[in-house]
Amino acid sequence: MKYSKQRELILQALHDTTVHPTAEQLYAMIRVTEPTISLATVYRNLNLLAENGIIKKFSDKNGIFHFDHCTHNHFHFICSKCNRVHDISYTFTPDPAAAISAQTGLEVESYDILFHGICSNCKTN
């Protein structure tokens, strides 16, 4: 990938947040310091970064994409009420990719597991 100042800014903004933002949310964050950037630029660069495996992308049940700078193995939990995304450690279960390959011989290259439910914040409200 060719170096781009704007892509660098997008990646930096994604690194600085833990909320797994959508493109629109990230766009709003970047505009504070970079008012000339366009939403189309943010979209294009996020997709490019995801295609190159530099960031992760997954869609919620409304089909809206969220982005994550953390590419190591972990799962996500998304709250059905507030739509907040939480990181879930994958150490609570044996590596599903290894289990699948042992059982079926299929070679897993990547996987995305998304849990849906109610977060503790919404449960108490």
Name the site residues for Zn ion (rule: CB under 5 A): 68, 70, 79, 81-82, 87, 119, 122
13 or 41: CB nearest Zn ion: 13
Closest approach, Cβ 21 to Zn ion, in A, equals 11
Give residue number: closest CB to Zn ion: 79
* DSSP letters for 43-110: HHHHHHHHHTTSSEEEE-TTS-EEEES--SSEEEEEETTT--EEEEEGGGS--HHHHHHHHH------
Closest approach, Cβ 89 to Zn ion, in A, equals 10
38 or 71: CB nearest Zn ion: 71
60 or 68: CB nearest Zn ion: 68
Closest approach, Cβ 113 to Zn ion, in A, equals 11
Total count of residues recorded for the chain: 125
103 or 124: CB nearest Zn ion: 124
Residue 95's CB is within 10 A of a number of other CB atoms, namely: 14
Burial of residue 33, with CB atoms counted within 10 A of its CB: 0-12 exposed, 13-18 middle, 19 or more buried: exposed
Closest approach, Cβ 83 to Zn ion, in A, equals 7
